[in-house]
Structure formats: C-alpha cells, structure tokens
Amino acid sequence: MAQLSDDCFAQGGALMPLDEALALLAARLGPVRPGEPVALAGAAGRILAADVVATVNVPPHDNSAVDGYAVFHADLSADAETRLPVTARVTAGEALGRPARRGEAIRIFTGAPMPVGPDTVMMQEDCREDGDHVIVAPGIGKGANRRHAGEDVKAGDAVLRRGHRLNPQDVGLAAGIGMTALEVYAPLRVAVFSTGNEVCEPGTALRPGAIYDSNRYSLIAAVTRLGCPVSDLGILPDRPAAIRDALAAAAGSHDLILTSGGVSTGDEDHVKAAVEANGSLHFWRLAIKPGRPVAMGQVRGTPIVGLPGNPGAALVTFLLVARPILLLLAGAGYRPPHRFRVPAGFDYRKKEGRREFVRAQLVPGPDGAPVAIKHGKSGAGILSSMVSADGLVDLGPEVTYLESGSTVDFLPFSEVLS
C-alpha cells in the first residue's frame, strides 16, 4: 500500500503552496498494484511496470528508403550521367541472394534489403531507363537513400521505461521489436462518492433546496479516462455514521477513495471526523484558488482525497492534486504538465500569497497567435466555465494585478484531462 507517515502533511495555520504539496506526494507515494502481462492490443493507456529492452535491431537490415536503383557510389561519374546495366530486381521482403558486382545497378523498392556491396540508392525520379540499362544523373552523395540496420532502434536499447503511460506510438514500437505483451501495473481501484443532504441523483425529482450531483459524474469520468475501474458509491447524507461506515467498507477493496464535499470546517462537514475514526486525516490548507479546502488522509491504510463540494473547484483540484496522487499510486510517477506562455487578453486582480488558476479560452489575437481570455464567470461553483474554457491561466502567489497583454503561463486541459 501507499507509504504515508501519519504526520507527513500535518501543518499549522500557514497555507501550503501547491508545489510543496506535490513534492511531498512525489517523495512519499508509489505504485500500490502488482505488475501483470497484457497483450499489445490492450496496452494503450496502461502504465509500464518494467523497462522494455529491444532484443533486435530496427530495421533488422540495411534497406532502401525509396524506389530506385542500388549502385556503388564509386561507379558514378561526379559530373556526367552514368549508364549502368540493370541486372536484378529486389522487392521488400526479399533478398538478392548474392553479392552485387561493381558496374551493375540493382532495381530496388522501398523497404527492400540492400544487396551486399552497393552503398547508395538513386531515386527513380533521378534516373531514366534505356532498355536493360539505367542512366543515372550526377551529383548524388555517397550513402544517399540507404537506411542502416539499427537506425531506429539498436538491440540492447531500453526503448520504453517503467512508469511510462503507453501511447499508441509506444505500442507500435513494442510491436516493432517483436513484443507480443508488456508488463504493466494492474489498474488502480478507485471508489468515488459525493456527500451532502442537498445533493440529488440526476433523473430524480429536484426537491426544494437541492441540486443535482455533477461532481460524482465529472470525477468518475476523469478517473475512468485514466484507465482505472471505478466503484460508484453514490451520494452519502450528512450523517457521521453513514460516512464513517461507507469509508471503512470502501477501504478494504480499493486503492484510493475520492470524495467531494464535506471537507471544510462547517458543522455539517463530517468527512474529517469519519476519516479520523478509521485512520488519520492530514488537512492541506492549500494556498490556491479555487479549492483551498483539499484533504488527504488514510482510512485503514487506504489513501483518501477529499475535494471541495463546489463543482468548479472540485474539478480544478482533481486536475491539480487528485490526478497526480492517482498517477503516483498507479505507478506513473508525477511529471508536471506542460504549460505554455501566451499573452493574456484580460485584466485581473488577486490577493498576494495565493496561487490562482483562472479558467480561460484561447482565441486568435491580432497576429493570429493565441491569446488567453478569461471566462465571464469564475466562481468555485461555476462548472460551465470548465466546459467553455480551454485551460487554466496559472497566476503565481506574487501576482496582485494582471494587465492585459502580459505574458502568462497557460495550462491546457489537454495536458491534464487525458
């Protein structure tokens, strides 16, 4: 299981910077699931549990990069056309079967193995046929249009590393070195539930004072997209015993528990007491907006992440905090997502000492380059702003006023939602 000391995130009144919290996570969390073999057809999106080392060269032999003629460069005139007899024909998947002789040209096609001897391939566009001869234009460099064995991958190369989340091109590379299966971590088992007497299941009658549960569905979709099976534990009422029992039951069969709501300090926020009844809770009072009330703890050894109840804040803090935790536990490690420098198309004031993530769209500026513009509504409860936005403008704690035209860090959702 995850190795967390009981006081690893304990702190007093000061708000913890996000980078400090993530550094603590990266230092203390690691994979909690065993490795298992999976066929290449099902490997995309999985996380490697072992390095992949090539046992063959790719390509396995020198081959032609084009359709043309394999020749000895020394047979070619440097400043005049050269006329050579065409004595054989080699296609992909076949070999000449003999060494080539000086003074001859071998008709060859893309991917076909180079005959022993010739060092250069003339593109057919630079040649013209003359009966059973070919006339070659001057000026080609020695070794042109010839691919060398091991040019892509050499036997012994570690082509993919443990902890890497497999993309389609990775699966193709594994197939290219002859692999049929890869050792990956078993999927992380995640339990998700919402809390709150005011939260209702979509599709039911909306009683006075109630809201439909959007958080659970957003979080389940985000976790599922990372390849983790999810147990939907539904909506728990604001009753300490119900929350306590649900957490205890989920801990025994899951690797991570993810909640929304009930992690602040109000009279009806019961998650804290429920966690402490079965384990320990390390409150992170993170210096971020939206989403300061984010909690991390353990229930009977199983990590639990408590996100805010406001829908916008819940999804932003999932991307910034819960997603890195999930990836660490799943074996992928944590790598900060790429941010891009773009000009801001809006003015903005904020408090010093708190890092803010402003939901923004990218639109073409006067020169066609992207400019970040703020979504019109940015409250913690505004989920529509996450739909309309392309990502988050990351404003550091030292910023108090952002002037339109200033360059800012932009975190696209494509970096943290896939």
Residues 395 and 352 in one domain: yes
Residues 88 and 141 in one domain: yes
CATH number at residue 208: 3.40.980.10
> Which of 330, 359, 391 is a domain's end point?
330
Residues 206 and 320 in one domain: yes
In degrees and rounded to multiples of 5, residue 348 shows phi and psi of -160, 135
CATH number at residue 122: 2.170.190.11
Does 5 reside within a domain?
A: no
> Which has the closest alpha carbon to 277: 260, 297, 291?
297
**How many structural domains is the chain composed of?**
4
CATH number at residue 180: 3.90.105.10
Residues 192 and 119 in one domain: no
Distance between CA atoms of residues 42 and 60, nearest Å: 26
**Looking at residue 264, what is its pLDDT?**
60
Residues 6+ apart with CB under 8 A from 7: 282
Residues 181 and 42 in one domain: yes
Residues 175 and 80 in one domain: no
**Looking at residue 283, what is its pLDDT?**
64
| Residue range 243-259, pLDDT digits in tens | 889 999 999 899 999 99
> Which has the closest alpha carbon to 257: 286, 239, 241, 236?
236
Residues 310 and 359 in one domain: no
- The domain containing residue 86 runs over which residues? 63-147
**66: how many CB neighbours lie within 10 A of its CB?**
19
**Looking at residue 280, what is its pLDDT?**
83
**Looking at residue 303, what is its pLDDT?**
93
Pairing of strands 302-307, 256-260: parallel
Q: Which residues of the chain have pLDDT under 70?
A: 1-13, 262-269, 283-284
Distance between CA atoms of residues 184 and 331, nearest Å: 9
Residues 238 and 290 in one domain: yes
Output the CA angle 34-37-40, nearest 5 degrees. 135
CATH number at residue 402: 2.40.340.10
Does 9 reside within a domain?
A: no
Does 273 reside within a domain?
A: yes
Residues 6+ apart with CB under 8 A from 55: 155, 177, 178
> Which has the closest alpha carbon to 177: 291, 260, 59, 282?
59
Residues 284 and 361 in one domain: no
Does 143 reside within a domain?
A: yes
Does 7 reside within a domain?
A: no
Does 3 reside within a domain?
A: no
Residue 184's DSSP bridge partners are 36, 48
Extract long-range pairs of 335-342: CB within 8 Å, 24+ residues apart. 336/22, 337/411, 337/415, 337/416, 338/415, 339/394, 339/409, 339/410, 339/411, 339/415, 340/409, 340/410, 340/412, 341/407, 341/408, 341/409, 341/410, 342/369, 342/370, 342/371, 342/372, 342/407, 342/408, 342/410
For residue 7, give the 3-state DSSP assignment: coil
Residues 94 and 167 in one domain: no
Distance between CA atoms of residues 67 and 333, nearest Å: 45
Does 6 reside within a domain?
A: no
State the number of CA atoms in the 13 A half-sphere of 66 facing the CB: 15
Does 284 reside within a domain?
A: yes
> Which of 310, 330, 350 is a domain's end point?
330
| Residue 406 burial (10 A CB sphere; 0-12, 13-18, 19+) | middle
Residues 295 and 363 in one domain: no
Residues 181 and 143 in one domain: no
> Which of 330, 357, 387 is a domain's end point?
330
